[in-house]
Structure 1
Amino acid sequence: MASTGLMLPPPSVDQPFMHVSALEGGNIRILCDLVVDGNSQGESISCPSLAFSLQHSKTKSWAVFDLGIRRDLEGYTPLSQERIKAMKFDPVVNQTVAESLVKGGVYPHQIETVIISHLHWDHIGDHEPFTRATFVVGEGCRELLTSGYPIDPNSLFSSTALPHERTKFLPLSDFSVPIGPFPLALDFFGDGSMYVIDAPGHIGGHINILARTSSDGAWILLGGDSAHDYRLITGEKEVAHSIDSSGRVWCMHGDKDKAVENIARIRSLLGIPRVQVLIAHDSKWYEENKGSAAFLPGTIPPLAA
C-alpha cells in the first residue's frame, strides 16, 4: 500500500519502547458469514483469542493486554454460556493467559497492569491470578459491570469480571492527544512508549494499544476486536451485517458505522513504514507464528527499517 502521508511521532533520544510478546489465550470457532460479507453460509474458521505481554524497555515493568478465554466456562454468566453454545464457538483452552505467562518465565503476580480491550467473554479470561495488577478499561465498561450479572440475571457481563478495588476506568477526557490516524489517544506512561487508543464501534469501552517496538521507529497496533478478520483491515472484505424480520440490523459490532470508521483508521497504518497490525482473532498470523519466538519468552520482531 502506498504511503498515506500520515506520520507517527518520531523517537526521542534514548526513546523508551515496549517488548511485545504474544500469549496463548485459547481458540474459538467463528462462522465466517457473521464476520465478513460474501462467505458461504455455515463456513467457519478456527481463530485464536490472542493476548499480549508488554514490558517497558526502561522500567522493566510488565503489562498484559487482554486475558483470553477461561478454561472453566461455568465462570461466565448463564447468558454468556448459552450464547457460546448457540453460536457454536466451541472454545478450546489448551493454555490460559496466566499459564502462557508462566511458561514464558513471568508469573501473574509480577504483572503490574492488565489492560482489557473490552468485556466480551473471550477477552476477560480469569482475573484471579493477577493479584497485584491494576486493571485498566474504557469508561464505557463501567455501566456494563455495575449492571451486570447477578444484578441483571440476563446480562452477558459479570459484575465480578474485574476486581472492583483495582479497576481503573479511563474517561474519554483522558484520551487527550491525537496520534497518527487516531483522534483520541492516551500516552499511558507519559514517555511515548505506549498509547491507549479509543476504538469505538464494537462495544462500549473498546480500546486498542499502539506501542513502539524499538527505539528507532517501529510500532505495533494491537487491535482487539476492531475487526474479526484481517481482510477487513486490508480492505479485501467488508464487515458482515444482516437485517432481521423486524428491520433491525444485526452485526458483530454494536455500531457498524463507527466500527467501519475505526477499521479505516487502522488500515491507514498499513501505509506507514515499520508499523504492524495484529487483531485478537487473526487466524492467518496465528497459523504462521504459533509456537514461534513471537510468543513469550520471545518477542514479536519489530519491522526493520
Structure 2
Amino acid sequence: MASTGLMLPPPSVDQPFMYVSALGGGNIRIPCDLVVDGNSQGESISCPSLAFSLRHSKTKSWVVFDLGIRRNLEGYTPLSQELIKAMKLAPVVNQTVTESLVKGGVFPDQVETDHTGDHEPFTRATFVVGEGCRELLTSGYPIDPNSFSFSTTLPHERTKFLPLSDFSLPIGPFPLALDFFGDGSTYVIDAHCARVIEHTGGHTNILARTSSDGAWILLGGDSAHDYRLIAGEEEVAHSIGSSGHIRCMHGDKEKAVENIARIRSLLGIPRVQVLIAHDSKWYENKGSAAFLPGIIQPLTA
C-alpha cells in the first residue's frame, strides 16, 4: 500500500488526458525460474506482449508505447535468435501491433510518436527513447556481432533521445520524470534501472491521466514479467545457472526491485491502475472493449 503522504498532482481546470487502448502484439513463453523466485527450472508461463495506443484528448496526437514482438525469428539479431531458442520462448504472433492498429482504425502513418520496435511501418513517427538507446546506433549488430539489437533498430533521422537531465520532475513515487506534452497529461518515467538484459537501454514507463477529473494509468512495460511481482506476492528471480552465469530477467536486480516497489506504491492510490506488457491475468480477462478502437476505461471514484 502507498504511504498516506504519497500523492499524484490534482487535475487542472479543463485538464487534458489520454485515451489509452491496449494493442495485441503476440504471446511468448517465459521460463518461470527467470521471473519468480523459487520456481523450478522447466516450468514456463505464457505471457502476452502488450503494447498501448495513447491519444491526446485535445490535440488528438497518437502515441504508441512499445511494438510487441516480431513475427519472424529472422527479424532478430543472431545472438537474440540463439537466446530465444535456448530459453524456449516460442513466440507466437497471430497479430502484430501494426495489424492491431489497423484493425482498430489507425494506420501507422497517423502515429506521431513511438517508443521502440519495428519502425518501418511508421513512416511519420518520431521515436522517443532514453539516452541509453543511443549506443544501438553506434555499436549494434552487425557492427558488434554479439549485440542483441540492430544498429538500424531506430531511424537515425527520426529518433529523439531523452537525456537523463530532461527527467527533472518528481511525481508520486518516481523521482525522475518528464512532463512529455507539458500539460500534465503524460509523464515519461525514467526506469532504466529495470532494463531487461536482452532489451535496449533507456527503459521508460509511462504515467498518464485517463480522465480530466483524476484517473491515472501506469504502463510499466518490462518492469516486471508477472503481476504478482507488482502486487508483492512474489519476489524477482535471481539464481546461478548450471554454467555459472546469473539467471535473471533484469540487468540489475536490486534496481529493478526498487522500481517495482515504486510501481507497487501506486496500488494504494485511488483511481490508479497499473498494467505491464506481460500481464497474463489482465489479458485473460481483458474483454474486447479495452483494445483499440475501444479504450481502457478510467477508474471511477
The TM-score bracket by the shorter chain reads: over 0.9
Tell me if the contact between 1:149 and 1:157 (Cα under 8 Å) persists in the aligned partners: yes
| 1-structure distance, mates of 2:166, 2:290 | 31
Does residue 1:302 correspond to 2:294, yes or no? no
Does residue 1:174 correspond to 2:171, yes or no? no
Query: For residues 57 and 78 of structure 1, do their structure 2 counterparts lie closer, same or farther at Cα, with a shift above 3 Å needed?
Result: same
**2:180 alignment partner in structure 1:** 188
**1:82 alignment partner in structure 2:** 82
Query: For residues 226 and 168 of structure 1, do their structure 2 counterparts lie closer, same or farther at Cα, with a shift above 3 Å needed?
Result: same
SS of structure 1 residue aligned to 2:193: coil
Shift of the alpha carbon at 1:247?
6.3
Shift of the alpha carbon at 1:2?
6.3
Scaled by the length of structure 1, what TM-score is found? Answer: 0.94
Q: 1:153 aligned to 131, 145, 148, which one?
A: 145
Q: Which amino acid aligns with 2:142?
A: P
User: What CA deviation, in whole Å up to 9, does each residue of 1:253-297 have, x standing for no partner?
Assistant: 1011111110110000001110000000001100110x5100000
Scaled by the length of structure 2, what TM-score is found? Answer: 0.95
Shift of the alpha carbon at 1:40?
3.1
Alignment of 1:1-305 (within 5 A): 1=1, 4-116=4-116, 124=117, 126-203=118-195, 204-244=201-241, 249-289=246-286, 291-305=287-301
The unaligned stretches of length 5 or more in structure 2 are 196-200
Q: Which amino acid aligns with 1:176?
A: S
Q: Which amino acid aligns with 2:175?
A: P
Cα RMSD of the aligned pairs, angstroms, is 1.4
Tell me if the contact between 2:194 and 2:259 (Cα under 8 Å) persists in the aligned partners: no
Shift of the alpha carbon at 1:4?
3.9
Q: Which amino acid aligns with 1:21?
A: S
The unaligned stretches of length 5 or more in structure 1 are 117-123
| 2-structure distance, mates of 1:186, 1:278 | 20
| 1-structure distance, mates of 2:150, 2:194 | 18
User: What CA deviation, in whole Å up to 9, does each residue of 1:57-113 have, x standing for no partner?
Assistant: 000110000011111221211111111111111001111111000000000000000
Tell me if the contact between 1:200 and 1:262 (Cα under 8 Å) persists in the aligned partners: no
User: What CA deviation, in whole Å up to 9, does each residue of 1:23-71 have, x standing for no partner?
Assistant: 0011100111110012232111110110000000000110000011111
| 2-structure distance, mates of 1:165, 1:212 | 30
| 2-structure distance, mates of 1:182, 1:11 | 18
Tell me if the contact between 1:202 and 1:252 (Cα under 8 Å) persists in the aligned partners: no
Tell me if the contact between 2:102 and 2:108 (Cα under 8 Å) persists in the aligned partners: yes
Report % sequence identity. 86
Tell me if the contact between 1:17 and 1:215 (Cα under 8 Å) persists in the aligned partners: yes
Shift of the alpha carbon at 1:245?
6.7
Q: Which amino acid aligns with 1:292?
A: S
User: What CA deviation, in whole Å up to 9, does each residue of 1:222-253 have, x standing for no partner?
Assistant: 00111111010111000000125786543111
Q: Which amino acid aligns with 2:215?
A: A
| 2-structure distance, mates of 1:156, 1:3 | 39
Moved more, 9-18 or 142-151: 142-151
